[in-house]
Amino acid sequence: MQKLKAISDKPYKEQAQYFLNAFWVGTEYDTADGPGPDFAHNEENCELVWAYKNAFVELDKKDEAGNELDEFQAHVILEKYDSALTVTKMREVLSEIDVDFNKMVSLTEYLIYKFGVKWVRLVNAPQGGEDAAAVAQAQKLVDAAKEKMQEVADAAKAAQEAADASKAEAAKAAEAAAASAEAQKAAEAAQADAEKAAAVEAQGEDMSLGIVKRNRAKNEAAQMRASDPQPLRTARINQGATVRKLARAQKKAEATAAAAAEATAVAAAARAQADAAQAAAEAAAADAQAAADEAEAAIPVAEEAFNKAIEELEVVKATAKTAGQGTFWWMDRELIEAMKFMPQKKAAKMMAEMQARKAARAGGGGGE
């Protein structure tokens, strides 16, 4: 019981590896009904241990550093993997699982329940302690490879975010450029109106013209001064600050000449905004390219770390004793999981490399 408690006090990952090692090759004494999980020949059982461990970690606030769940959390595990159990039966099972009676359920206790093994067989199973140093070195390289592959994922995410930001800035720049063109068009039209108004007013004061023509010209000029300039009424500029400025220009326009001046100012502001937006877009594009380059550079570094890890791992596997094979399976599984962070084609290549090394080891007389 003390040995069982010591195993249950280990972090979830170590508990899982211990259990895999203990029942790597089944014997007729593993369970009351015969051979146990026989993990060496049952990949599905290995994957179940992997899934159970991840489920425990997900529920535990201590994350990977945790080792056991309270009764409520353990109840969640039972609901997930043993949904056919009634509430009453779940309570009975929880009582049965808690082998050391501390009202907590360790991963080890849950695995004992799930696979129906004899826990006395578990605590006395060899763990390959004579190969501990080599295994620790292999795990160190596996952890390094996992870290590098995670960096690939992080860099790829950053590159995508930078690319999205670049697209957004480019869209803003295009919008600002359109606003600037619209404002310039309005300014030119307002200037044309101003010049026309000046010409009409000049006619009203031209004594060489008849009184009728002069009065008609004065009347037309008065109407032009009284109305909002047409270019400013029709311009629709989709740029926040420019729109507000244009609205103020419309409100303040008391004469065509004044409106033309306001329209010119609006156009200048729009051009300045467009220039600023273009500069921001160019800066974002540069950032996106830098992020993409960083993501690309991270891939070969991760691949090198992976190759170093599997090379060392295969050497240790070939020289280690039978005990500890569950730990090796776990290391392989960690690498496979980390491959998801790599580009698809690169991950396929890495998987092929791993399988080739396994095949070579098996063919050379090593193995389980």
Q: Tens of pLDDT along 120-154?
A: 888 888 776 667 888 888 899 999 999 999 999 99
The whole-number pLDDT of residue 217 equals: 58
The whole-number pLDDT of residue 324 equals: 83
Single pTM value for the model: 0.72
What backbone phi and psi angles, to 5 degrees, belong to 34? 135, -150
Q: For the chain, what is the mean pLDDT?
A: 82
The CATH fold assigned to 1-125 is Recoverin; domain 1 (1.10.238)
pLDDT digits over 245-254, tens only? 555 544 444 4
Radius of gyration of the chain (CA): 38
The whole-number pLDDT of residue 146 equals: 92
Single out the residue of 207, 206, 246, 245 nearest to residue 228, CA to CA: 246
Q: Are 100 and 40 in contact (CB under 8 A)?
A: no
The whole-number pLDDT of residue 292 equals: 92
User: Residue 101 CB: number of other CB atoms within 10 A?
Assistant: 8
- Rounded CA-CA distance 95/35 in Å is 25
Question: C-alpha 231: how far from its chain's center?
Answer: 49
> What is the Cβ-side half-sphere exposure of residue 363, based on CA atoms within 13 angstroms?
6
Alpha-carbon dihedral angle through residues 267, 272, 275, 278, given to the nearest 10 degrees? -90
Distances (CA, A) of 153 to 58, 195, 338, 343, 344: 21, 63, 9, 9, 12
Single out the residue of 354, 301, 352, 310 nearest to residue 152, CA to CA: 301
- Rounded CA-CA distance 43/242 in Å is 66
Alpha-carbon dihedral sign for residues 102, 108, 111, 115: negative
The residue ranges of every structural domain in the chain are 1-125, 164-291
Single out the residue of 83, 102, 101, 85 nearest to residue 93, CA to CA: 85
- Rounded CA-CA distance 143/280 in Å is 40
The whole-number pLDDT of residue 314 equals: 85
- Rounded CA-CA distance 125/323 in Å is 9
Residues of the chain with pLDDT under 70: 28-29, 128-130, 193-210, 212-218, 220-257, 321-323, 361-368
Q: Are 295 and 158 in contact (CB under 8 A)?
A: yes
Q: Are 291 and 338 in contact (CB under 8 A)?
A: no
The whole-number pLDDT of residue 368 equals: 45
Single out the residue of 276, 274, 275, 188 nearest to residue 238, CA to CA: 274
- Rounded CA-CA distance 158/151 in Å is 10
The whole-number pLDDT of residue 207 equals: 63
User: Residue 252 CB: number of other CB atoms within 10 A?
Assistant: 10
The whole-number pLDDT of residue 162 equals: 93
